[in-house]
């Protein structure tokens, strides 16, 4: 008579032990659920708010959870770490499903309906997958341990990491040996599907663990396994494992928006119309942060990826995005703690270049730099700014540009380009750097000459052009930013502007991602895209050069707006492209962003110098840039390193000019 293919029950485990097991299960589950709810209720998110949000956003939440949580969309970008996380998380998921199916079949369906679901082919597949899950978990844990012990990357490893790895490893091994002992006690041919446990099962007869002695050992090991599982689950709220619950919530609730768009705390036009100026700008205390920002900090796994990518950390400033988010996480319920200096120092608040390397790296889509920007807004509101920052803002007020130059100086470029009017198809936005910085002014003239050579129907605004206010907003002066926006949008509307081309990624970003909220209706292109298309269309004909050229990706063009190919097309048409190790989305900031061009941050080294060292490591003859801030920052760094004769720095437009066919 053949033995039915089914999962054996724990007939030799006394009923009272099973009763204790389930009683403890419910107690531990209740404890974890209370911790989870308490974590959010202390920041003002209760059941009613959770339910309302879930009902209206469940589709998007499910999609984002599957993408970022289950399938590790961000983690996979680092192949080793991504593989490690997928092995661990899928291993845990498979084993959790397997345990749940055993509970459902043996402890609910069989007692109530007298049949089980773990039978036949389904059971055999179940056992194969359960073993695969265990193998995946152990392999992932070994990778995690190796990553820390072999120092593959700089990790902020603490005892908690090893406790988690050890706890999960013990649970996985206990599960395999329990299954192997069960096979040894009740061996059936179909047990071979449990391929790991089948091989281990021969250990027990060899050491005399059979019969009643084997059953007694099984009962003891089973109790230890249950106790280990309960201990690990109870430890979850106090360990990095908490991210399994907290990160899942934020990943699901995270609201997608253009990466280059800052939040808008008020609408100045509405305030002027109504006379109501009762609004809050920035955050003085931790509890002034929006609830979702507090939930965002709670999702932090303390993995340190943002820290390792941050140029301010590399330069030795006291800003550390990981520490900022962790500090917010630890103090989210403290209503009196101020962001400055409770969460970060004032110097750290100004050290952020807003390059968003931290945002790019975070596997659970946290935006660390946004906490710094909210702190800056409050510092500006309280006038806690440096002399240089104050001068910058005063210049914007008095002359509508950060240099303090007379607005009429912009008209000098009308010697090279026509004035924009309604008959023109393209407005070339020169920008403050192109108008007033001597080196970038040369780049601006080059671009104007190329546009004329390609017979583009374009014009410039001359003295009607004003600063976009991009840097003012990122420094924290929202009101000054919106004043400039209102004036610029009015100018665009009066002239009927339909298309804007600019060489400044910062202007490009704010026109593209922020001005539309204030009424701008125009197509926006960076000059690299516009010029690359002119080359592609044959309106600018290039000959290929022979030099080796490396390319610096501007943060606000590349990482923040996902524009990488047009600059590379231009460089590849001008010579041999030699990529830096840190390029494309992993590119390092030049150090100018977020207002850092206009004031000094206390640090051990300069970001621009570190970046120039990476440039020189390529051995390239030329460095191509596509940002008027990157140009002076990296040029100064080359002089500091006495490397002016080793590398020639040019804008991508100048590469086109130098390689034009006559």
The string of DSSP codes covering 305-367 is: HHHHH-HHHHTT-S--HHHHHHHHHHTTT-TT-BIIIIIS-HHHHHH-----HHHHH-TT---
**Cα–Cα distance between 390 and 393 in angstroms, integer?**
5
Dihedral sign for Cα atoms in the order 401, 407, 412, 418: positive
Contacts of 338 (CB under 8 A, 6+ apart): 284, 285, 286
Closest among 543, 618, 542 to 578, alpha carbons compared: 618
Contacts of 661 (CB under 8 A, 6+ apart): 541, 542, 543
**Cα–Cα distance between 626 and 504 in angstroms, integer?**
8
List the structure tokens of 474: 């990122």
Q: How far is CA 556 from CA 49, 379, 576, in A?
A: 36, 24, 25
Threshold 0.75, pTM exceeds: yes
**Cα–Cα distance between 163 and 174 in angstroms, integer?**
16
Helix (H), strand (E), coil (C) string for 524-593: EEEHHHHHHHHHHCCCCCECCCCCEEEECCCCCCCCCCCCCHHHHHHHHHHCEECCCCCCHHHCCCCCCH
Contacts of 631 (CB under 8 A, 6+ apart): 439, 440, 443, 625, 649, 651
Dihedral sign for Cα atoms in the order 415, 630, 587, 591: negative
Closest among 93, 106, 88, 84 to 9, alpha carbons compared: 106
Tens digits of per-residue pLDDT, 471-504?
A: 999 999 999 999 999 999 999 999 999 999 999 9
- Which residues lie across from 282 on neighbouring strands? none
- Which residues lie across from 660 on neighbouring strands? 542
3-state secondary structure of 177: helix
The string of DSSP codes covering 448-517 is: HHHHHHTT--EEB-GGG-----HHHHHHT-HHHHHHHHHHHHHHHHHHT--EEEES-HHHHHHHHHTGGG
Give residue 156's pLDDT: 63
CA terminus-to-terminus distance, the chain: 93
Cβ neighbourhood burial of 305 (10 Å; 0-12, 13-18, 19+): buried
Length reported for the chain: 662
**What parts of the chain have a pLDDT lower than 70?**
1-3, 9-13, 58, 68-77, 151-158, 335
Tens digits of per-residue pLDDT, 356-385?
A: 999 999 888 899 999 999 999 999 999 999
Place of tokens 């027990």: 204
All domains in the chain, ordered by first residue? 15-31+79-241 (1.20.950), 268-384 (1.10.1060.10), 400-534 (3.40.50), 542-658 (3.40.50)
Closest among 400, 435, 438 to 416, alpha carbons compared: 435
């Amino acid at each position: 008579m053949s033995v039915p293919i089914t999962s054996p029950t724990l007939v030799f485990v006394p009923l009272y032990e099973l009763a204790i097991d389930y009683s403890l299960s419910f107690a531990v589950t209740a404890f974890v659920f209370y911790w989870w709810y308490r974590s959010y209720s202390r920041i003002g998110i209760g059941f009613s708010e959770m339910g309302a949000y879930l009902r209206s956003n469940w589709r998007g939440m499910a999609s984002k959870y599957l993408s970022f949580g289950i399938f590790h969309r961000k983690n996979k970008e680092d192949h080793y770490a991504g593989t490690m996380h997928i092995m661990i998380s899928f291993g845990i998921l498979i084993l959790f499903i397997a345990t749940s199916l055993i509970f459902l079949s043996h402890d609910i369906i069989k007692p109530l309906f007298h049949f089980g679901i773990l039978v036949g082919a389904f059971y055999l597949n179940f056992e194969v997958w359960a073993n695969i899950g265990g193998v995946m978990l152990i392999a992932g844990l070994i990778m995690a341990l190796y990553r820390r012990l072999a120092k593959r990357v700089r990790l902020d490893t603490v005892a908690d990491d090893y406790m988690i790895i050890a706890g999960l490893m013990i649970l996985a091994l206990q599960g395999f040996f329990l299954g192997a002992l069960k096979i040894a006690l009740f061996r059936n041919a179909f047990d071979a599907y449990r391929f790991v446990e089948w091989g281990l099962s021969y250990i027990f007869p060899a050491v005399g663990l059979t019969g009643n002695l084997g059953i007694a050992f099984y009962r003891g090991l089973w109790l230890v396994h249950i106790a280990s599982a309960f201990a690990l689950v109870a430890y979850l709220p106090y360990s990095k494992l908490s991210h399994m619950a907290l990160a899942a919530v934020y990943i699901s609730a995270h609201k997608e928006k253009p990466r280059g768009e800052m939040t808008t705390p008020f609408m100045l036009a509405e305030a002027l119309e109504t006379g109501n100026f009762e609004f809050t700008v920035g955050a003085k205390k931790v509890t002034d942060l929006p609830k979702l920002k507090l939930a965002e900090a709670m999702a932090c796994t303390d993995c340190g990826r943002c820290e390792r990518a941050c140029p301010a950390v590399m330069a030795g400033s006291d800003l550390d995005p990981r520490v900022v988010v962790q500090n917010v996480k630890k103090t989210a319920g403290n209503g009196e703690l101020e962001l400055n200096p409770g969460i970060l120092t004032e110097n750290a608040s100004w050290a952020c270049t807003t390059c968003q390397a931290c945002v790019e790296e975070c596997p659970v889509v946290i935006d660390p730099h946004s906490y710094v920007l909210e702190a800056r807004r409050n510092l500006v509101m309280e006038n806690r700014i440096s002399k240089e920052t104050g001068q910058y803002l005063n210049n914007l007020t008095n002359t509508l540009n950060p240099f303090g130059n007379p607005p009429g100086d912009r008209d000098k470029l009308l010697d090279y380009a026509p004035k924009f009017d309604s008959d023109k198809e393209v407005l070339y936005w020169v920008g403050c750097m192109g108008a007033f910085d001597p080196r970038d002014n040369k780049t601006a003239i080059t671009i104007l000459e190329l546009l004329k050579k390609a017979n583009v129907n374009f014009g410039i605004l001359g003295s009607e052009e004003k600063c976009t206010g991009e840097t003012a907003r990122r420094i924290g002066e929202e009101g000054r930013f919106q004043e400039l926006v209102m004036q610029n949008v009015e100018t665009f509307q009066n002239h009927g502007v339909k298309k804007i081309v600019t060489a400044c990624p910062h202007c490009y970003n704010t026109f593209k991602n922020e001005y539309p909220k204030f009424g701008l209706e125009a197509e926006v292109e960076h000059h690299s895209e516009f010029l690359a298309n002119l080359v592609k269309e044959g309106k600018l004909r290039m000959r290929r050069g022979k030099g080796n050229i490396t390319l610096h990706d501007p943060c606000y063009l590349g990482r923040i707006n996902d524009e990488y190919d047009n600059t590379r097309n231009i460089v590849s048409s001008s010579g041999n492209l030699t990529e830096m190790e840190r390029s494309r989305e992993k590119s390092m900031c030049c150090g100018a962003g977020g207002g850092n061009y206009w004031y000094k941050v206390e640090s051990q080294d300069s970001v621009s110098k570190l970046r120039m060292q990476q440039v020189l490591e390529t051995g390239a003859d030329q460095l191509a840039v596509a940002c008027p801030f990157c140009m002076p920052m990296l040029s100064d760094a080359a002089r500091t390193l006495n490397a002016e004769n080793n590398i020639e720095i040019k804008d991508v437009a100048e590469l086109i000019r130098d390689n034009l066919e006559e």
